[in-house]
Amino acid sequence: MSYTFLLPCANPPAPAINLLASKISRTRPSFPCRSSMEKQQLIKGSKLMEFPYLTDPHRDTMVDLISAMENRLGSHLLPSSVPPDVEHYQNESGTSQGTLHIRCGIDSSPIDFVLASWLHLEQPTGGALDITNIAGYLKSSTDVPHFQFELVKCSPTFLILFLDLIPRKDIVFSPDYLKTYYEDTQLEKFRQQLDQLPEVKPYFSSSLYFRCVVSPTGILVSIKCEDGAGPERVEEIIREHVRPMSNDIMKIWIDMCVGEGVQVGETERAVLEKRDSLIKSKAIQMDLSSSMPKQFGQEVADRVLRVIKSVYNV
């Protein structure tokens, strides 16, 4: 859900840090939960899974990732607690629309919560931004990185991709962390594969803070195909490269989550908790509170932000 670090509409949006943190002993959102059967019906028939403004390869990528989370992590998660008027919301004219789907982890799970969303934002100058996001966040009982996937369609021929396992520690002070989660998993090969495509270039977020949060193997690129095949080539890149790569990295992350993992002690847990909390607070401070009202109006923004802040525990 790309609510953080959105730039003005004249510029491409910087991919989100999005809910980068959690507390293991926090209070969960107080919204009523649905039964498992209601949850299954919701995810299959919801606006979230429609992805009405996406091309087929982009939609298929999102469905793959959501399905992987639901299938592999479903037993670790509570039913969705997001109110219906936040699951799908829009501005008065209907030109900006969004969805939000969140499932929090059960008490015994290392998962804090998983999140999926899409945004469709028509621009005053013409065209629209279509932003899709899938994220997974861990409790402070483990130091496993957070998962973040975001694909922003700025135009039919221009995309921004952010795909990363967000580190929970300062890697300079934790070389073993770098080896365990980034070297041994060979995540760098995915970035190098994309780097071979002539249409793919590094994308530099305007937020220096955001750049500090991304891992050394993080994929933050623009995909621009204005010559020749144009939109068809964009779809091919998503289908042949982005989709399989995203699925592979998602599988690596899920295997970390459901495996034994690295259990941390009380002192280290407090440090993880503080670091995650600072990043969450910074995300809200820098953009959330200002960008949401501009896109959706104050009443809708307040409604959505109330849910997000409840999950952030801020």
Helix (H) or strand (E) holding 306: helix 298-312
| Alpha carbons 110 and 299: distance in angstroms, whole number | 34
Least confident of 119-123, 161-165, 269-273, 281-285: 281-285
Locate the domains of the chain by residue range: 3-312
Segment 158-188, tens digit of pLDDT: 999 999 999 999 999 999 999 999 999 999 9
Helix (H) or strand (E) holding 70: helix 56-73
**Quick one: angle between helices 188-195 and 243-258, nearest 10?**
170
Give the mean pLDDT of the chain: 83
Amino acid residing at 104: C
- Those residues whose C-beta lies under 8 Å from the C-beta of residue 33, and which sit 6 or more positions away, are 78, 79, 80, 81
Residue 287: what pLDDT?
Answer: 66
Nearest CA to 303 out of 151, 89, 28 is that of 89
Q: Which residues pair with 202 in a beta bridge?
A: 221
Amino acid residing at 84: P
Cβ-count burial of 242 within 10 angstroms (0-12 exposed, 13-18 middle, 19+ buried)?
Answer: buried
pTM score? 0.86
When pLDDT is cut at 50, 70 and 90, the band that residue 40 belongs to is very low
What count of Cα atoms within 13 Å lies in the side-chain half-sphere of residue 250? Answer: 26
Segment 129-143, tens digit of pLDDT: 999 999 999 999 999
CATH code of domain 3-312: 3.40.1500.20
Beta strands in the chain (DSSP E): 88-90, 96-99, 101-104, 111-122, 128-138, 146-155, 158-166, 200-202, 219-224
Q: Is the dihedral of CA 134, 14, 165, 292 positive or negative?
A: negative
| Alpha carbons 234 and 88: distance in angstroms, whole number | 28
Cβ-count burial of 180 within 10 angstroms (0-12 exposed, 13-18 middle, 19+ buried)?
Answer: middle
Greater pLDDT, 284 or 17: 284
The two tokens of residue 22 are 């959690």
| Alpha carbons 248 and 237: distance in angstroms, whole number | 16
Q: Which residues pair with 130 in a beta bridge?
A: 120, 153
